Structure 1
């Protein structure tokens, strides 16, 4: 399945922050995972590459010392500046293929669900390797199509799984992209991430269509799926939390 490139300035910026707030438990989970693989010295300079609305950028600054959010979408970056300001955070225009930072100036790079949006992955790999310190780490939080987790809300949108398998890379593809620049995987972990406290919360968020998967669906199937999801949520008598099995790949220099 061939998918078109999604420009977040067109539509996704509108409801991203409202539709994808970072759950406190998820924030704690990921920061602990990042700390486990970061260089031991402190403070660190962290690059949140493809930072979007800045959900993780201030927590990275709190944990490590300084964080720089680089985001190609002007409207997403404006949302980050408005919704997630922080004294030790800067938001800069740029992209994975053109990082606006000096050689060897970054200790830790995070790509939080952004690698699959990169159009020239070879160029991006070279830029990331250039910006990293010699002992730096690259953290790629992604869905990997060869390790697709069960995602509960997909049951209401029958094509969502196929779309995401076409959207996301395999682990081998990510490894192959970074091999020529001397970065190799040293860990591949699966974490149990809390994404919502109830089906009602999930339905309210997905009604805003804050996930790029919806950009590849027809309007009729979105409306039908949302109606089925809302009916399921309305029948929920005891709120049940929703989780996802989420992968993190850690790369460093060989």
Structure 2
């Protein structure tokens, strides 16, 4: 497990923050699977520093609950991502502090791999979703890993990530066991802004990805030194943007 009350909380916004355009593209991708009626009530499960939470409130015009177990991440969200329709709550995915059938949508944005009991968490998602409600599981999937450029600098990072995430079929099996209907395959969403080599290297230098918490220190030191040197040599090279995978889950009516 990763400690988000420590160093990661202080660097997360710098290393993992989203531009307004990226937030808008994500909320538009989510809205495509929901009814047009407003307001809709949303749960951001594992909301972290609230990088998407206010955007959900803007688009869906209803109360949004950001549930986050890390006290420090939740404090930062309350300070930097406040919104009149957003309430940040202490809680975990396995014990969501909301009533049954109380939300229209649930977003699990790169948080599923942190849940201690994923089966229980999905049962809780089923409980809080209204019948017909939709959950959005944005994750890496071990059988559909993107070819991230920085894997070349950290030899064990790809293996660490593959072990951290479940395959699409494993996620679908867990969802079905929790009573949720899962799509056959994830949808692919392109939302990230293109970055230059230098911009990407500077963003990575904050070590805000949980992957880095599992790598040996000498591999980190050598990898970041090589990355910085290459960024100095070719700072303006545009890096490819990989679409992101999101699995759609529904509570039956």
Q: TM-score range by the shorter chain?
A: over 0.9
Shift of 1:181: 2.5
Contact kept, 8 Å, 1:198 with 1:242, in 2: the verdict is no
Is the 1:108–1:132 Cα contact (8 Å) retained in structure 2?
Answer: yes
Distance of aligned partners of 1:237 and 1:93 in 2 relative to their CA distance in 1, 3 Å threshold = closer
C-alpha separation between the residues in 2 aligned to 1:87 and 1:253?
Answer: 28
1:69 Cα shift? 0.4
Per-residue deviation at 1:227?
Answer: 1.0
Q: Is 2:175 the partner of 1:182? A: no
* Structure 1 residue 244 displacement after superposition: 2.1
Matched, 1:39 2:8: no
Contact 2:48 2:73 in 1 (8 A): yes
**How far apart, CA to CA, are the structure 2 residues paired with 1:150 and 1:193?**
17
Whether 2:99 is the aligned partner of 1:102: answer yes
In the TM superposition, what are the counterparts of 1:86-235 in structure 2 within 5 Å? 86-186=83-183, 188-235=186-233
Structure number having the greater strand percentage: 1
What is the CA–CA distance in structure 1 between the aligned matches of 2:87 and 2:240, rounded to whole Å?
33
Shift of 1:135: 1.0
Measure how far apart 1:95 and its partner are: 0.8
CA contact (8 A) 2:123 2:179 kept: no
Q: In the aligned structure 2, how far is the partner of 1:151 from the partner of 1:193?
A: 16
Q: Cα deviation per residue 1:185-244 (whole Å; 9 max; x = unaligned)?
A: 135211234255211111112111101000001111111111111111112253415412
C-alpha distance after superposition, 1:105-128 (max 9, x if no partner) = 000000000001011112111111
- Alignment coverage as a number of residue pairs: 250
Q: Deviations 1:111-149 (Å, cap 9, x if unpaired)?
A: 000001011112111111110000100000000001111
* In structure 1, C-alpha distance between the alignment counterparts of 2:149 and 2:203, rounded to whole Å: 14
Which stretches in structure 2 are left out of the alignment for 5+ residues?
A: none
Contact 2:197 2:236 in 1 (8 A): no
1:49 lines up with 2:49 in the alignment: no
Whole-Å separation in 2 of the counterparts to 1:98 and 1:53: 20
